[in-house]
Amino acid sequence: MITGIHAIVYSRHDEKIRAFFGEKLNFRSVDAGGGWPIFEAPPAELAVHPTDGEPEHEIFLMCDDIEKTLSELRQRGVQAQPVHERSWGMATVLEVASGETIGLYEPRHPSPLSPSLHQLTHDLFQLIDDVQSGKVPWSRFDEIVTPDFKAFVPGQTLDVNGFKQVMQSFSKGFSGGSHRLFDMVCNGETAMVREEWSGTHTGEFLGAQPTGKRVTSLVMCLVRFKDGKISEFHETFDTLSLMQQTGVIQG
């Protein structure tokens, strides 16, 4: 079976090209033998275009935000031509070595590389862990939800700001919080997840003073997506066990 695509760049400046991929783009590589590196490329897509000329092949790098990507590359010393808007995306050309170039574009066309529902759901719980630990700002959550987002948690229906407040209360009461996903079933634009949340009780939680205990709670979530963003988040968890473990109530 086909397991991947191996692309080859032929150049009279091969050492400089390798340095560009390794040092400027930070592509990981392995030694294929004799000091010959093979680079790990990002996920790829393949297109076939008609031509009246001689057959040829091209390689384009792709990005999700061309201005942000160019800013990062310029900090690494990469030179780029002005960005132009095309019917298929925003495009530029990167100077690689001694006059040789490679294209870079932010696609505006449908792509087979669009994240799967499984990946989007996994990324959601990873983001919740990251915002609660302070690795990324809370505003990052606003970018992945629809304008009419609603969260349905025990006893409450919340908009995005209300949901972030609930998450913030957990981050204040617990450190090292993380989600461990056990099962996921996806259908259409809906994902159902059975997972376990755990955290160390290092702050006040619902009036209970910190115990320093590692607590866990079994969680069931239903997540609805619309055009790749979260429109609804339904969650139910073992609140009785959580309150007993933290001392909110005596069990």
What is the per-residue pLDDT across 37-84, written as a single tens digit (0 to 9) for each? 999 988 888 899 999 998 888 889 998 889 999 999 999 999 999 999
Are 103 and 90 within 8 A, CB to CB?
Answer: no
Angle formed by the axes of helices 160-173 and 117-133, to 10°?
Answer: 50
pLDDT classification of 117: cutoffs 50, 70, 90: confident
- Residue 194 domain flag: yes
CA-to-CA separations, 42 to 5, 27, 62, 109, 151, in angstroms, rounded: 11, 9, 9, 18, 34
Domain end point (choices 107, 139, 157): 107
Same domain, 176 and 142: yes
Q: Is 67 inside any structural domain?
A: yes
Same domain, 101 and 122: no
- CA angle (179 as vertex; 176, 180 as ends), nearest 5: 120
CA pair distance 250, 227, nearest whole angstrom: 45
Q: What CATH number should be reported for the domain holding residue 19?
A: 3.10.180.10
Same domain membership, residue 72 and residue 145: no
Q: Of the residues 79, 107, 135, which one is the last residue of a structural domain?
A: 107
Domain co-membership, 191 together with 94? no
CB-based contacts of 222, cutoff 8 Å, min separation 6: 190, 191, 192, 193, 232, 233, 234, 235
Summarised one tens digit per residue, pLDDT across range 229-238 is: 999 999 998 8
pTM value is 0.56
Give the range of the structural domain holding residue 38, as residue numbers without chain letter.
Answer: 14-107
- Residues 18-43 have a mean pLDDT of 91
Cα 102–chain centre separation: 25
Q: Is 2 a domain residue?
A: no
Residue 123 counted as domain residue: yes
Q: What is the mean pLDDT of residues 106-128?
A: 84
Residue 48: inside a domain: yes
Structural domain count, the chain: 2
Q: What is the DSSP string of 55-102?
A: -----EEE-S-HHHHHHHHHHTT-EEPPPEEETTEEEEEEEEETTEEE
Query: Is residue 32 domain-shared with residue 126, that is, in the same domain?
Result: no
Bridge partner residues of 102 (DSSP):
94
Same domain, 122 and 94: no
List the structure tokens of 208. 């209970």
Domain-ending residue, one of 63, 84, 107: 107
**CATH number, position 156:** 3.10.450.50
210 in the same domain as 139: yes
128 and 237 share a domain? yes
Inter-residue contact 160 to 139 (CB < 8 Å)? no
Q: Quick one: 130 and 175 in the same domain? A: yes
Question: Is position 202 within any domain?
Answer: yes
Residue 3 lies in a domain: no
**Together in a domain, 102 and 31:** yes
If asked whether residues 153 and 102 sit together in one domain, one would say: no
pLDDT of 174-218, one tens digit each?
998 889 999 999 888 899 999 999 999 988 888 888 899 998 999
In this structure, the answer to whether residues 50 and 134 fall within a common structural domain is no
8: in domain: no
